[in-house]
Amino acid sequence: MEPPVQREAIRCLRANEEDAVALLLERLNHSLEQALMDYEDGADDTRGAYWYPMYLLAEFRAHEAFEPLAALLEHDEEYTDWLLGEAVTEDFACILASCAQPDNFIRLRELVFDNGYKRLMNRLAALEAACILYACGEVSHCDILQLLREALAQATKQKDRKMAAFIACSAVDIGMFEMKDEIRLLFEQGKVEQQIVGNWKMFARESRFEQTPASTLRKYKQDLYHRKIDNAISVIESWPGFKPTTKAPDNVLAVPQKAKEKQTYSGFASKAAPNDPCACGSGKKYKKCCMEY
């Protein structure tokens, strides 16, 4: 039994991609405007009418969607968390990279550097999108290395140990092993939040510096959260209305089921490295799940 409505609607949109992009962009912009008004009015939850447009525009590589999506990261993290939930640290970077062109790397740089302390996850989403573009060959090695080094220097100057820890993870994830010595120095100086990434010995073991940068980058590209979205259905098939065993909500084309609130667990940092499976049982990597908590 195949769930009706959504799959068929998406197939129709795919068959008429040019017209669909214009329709989806209109839907996206309108729903984001409505969401902001809802948030300012104190709504407990978002209507979520932007979810399907975001994923489909990503699949269609709609470059026109990049700026409206990038602009979301300029808001305070409280708003983006209300709006996107877990997607801020998971799918949103993939969506952003899917809609980006190489020239948009400059905009991503601005988002990494220009946001304030209360936008950590937003800044990291922009950084992750830049890393995905690099993995896809759309950003040069020199440019991504410069971004990572400057972002790490800024985090160190601002004494932002959390940001430094996440940047260090991003650097080794994409094989920027030439940063090994400077990252190790920051560990030795206590400028990296070790509750997130552990001590240097643990971090170095997890980073597998003995491997080649090329093999590390290949592994990065195989991760679901480190690549562009090619098939929206494969990403959102767990939503209500796509699983035959799940009853769809009334407005199936607008509102996916909001991710359940994460449970938090104490003592993770001493037991789990960033790329280990998360102990909460989600099946995701620790850094993509409960590490922030």
Instruction: Taking residues 101-106, report their average pLDDT.
Output: 96
Instruction: For the beta carbon of residue 60, count every other beta carbon within 10 angstroms.
Output: 20
- Max Cα distance, the chain (Å): 59
pLDDT at residue 134 in the model: 97
Q: What is the DSSP letter of 75?
A: S
- pLDDT reading at 13 higher than 50: yes
* Tokens, residue 84: 């996107």
Name the pLDDT band for 248 (thresholds 50, 70, 90): very low
Between residues 160 and 116, the one the model is more confident about? 160
pLDDT at residue 63 in the model: 97
The β-bridge partners of 285 are 277
- pLDDT reading at 267 higher than 50: no
Instruction: For the beta carbon of residue 274, count every other beta carbon within 10 angstroms.
Output: 23
pLDDT at residue 266 in the model: 37
Q: Which of 13-17, 27-31, 159-163, 263-267 is predicted with the least confidence, judged by mean pLDDT?
A: 263-267
Write the pLDDT tens digit of every residue in 121-180: 999 999 999 999 999 999 999 999 999 999 999 999 999 999 999 999 999 999 999 999
- DSSP codes joined into one string, 26-51: HHHHHHHHHHHHHHHTT-SS---TTH
**157-161 long-range contacts, CB within 8 A, separation 24+:** 158/117, 159/191, 160/117, 160/120, 161/191, 161/192, 161/193
Q: Please, where are the H alpha helices in the chain?
A: 6-15, 17-40, 51-59, 66-72, 77-84, 91-99, 105-114, 120-135, 141-157, 161-173, 180-188, 194-197, 200-207, 213-222, 232-236
Phi/psi at 277 (5° precision): -60, 140
Nearest to 125 by CA among 93, 85, 172: 93
Instruction: Taking residues 44-64, report their average pLDDT.
Output: 89
213-222 vs 161-173: helix crossing angle, rounded to 10: 100
Name the pLDDT band for 115 (thresholds 50, 70, 90): low
Q: Which of 85-99, 181-195, 267-281 is predicted with the least confidence, judged by mean pLDDT?
A: 267-281
Q: What is the DSSP letter of 160?
A: -
- pLDDT reading at 256 higher than 50: no
Query: pLDDT exceeding 90 applies to what percent of the chain?
Result: 58
Domains of the chain, residue spans: 1-139+228-247
- pLDDT reading at 268 higher than 70: no
Name the pLDDT band for 273 (thresholds 50, 70, 90): low
The β-bridge partners of 277 are 285
- DSSP codes joined into one string, 242-287: TSTTSPPPTTTTT-PPPPPPPP--TT-TTT--TTSBPTTSSSSBGG
The average confidence (pLDDT) of the chain is 83
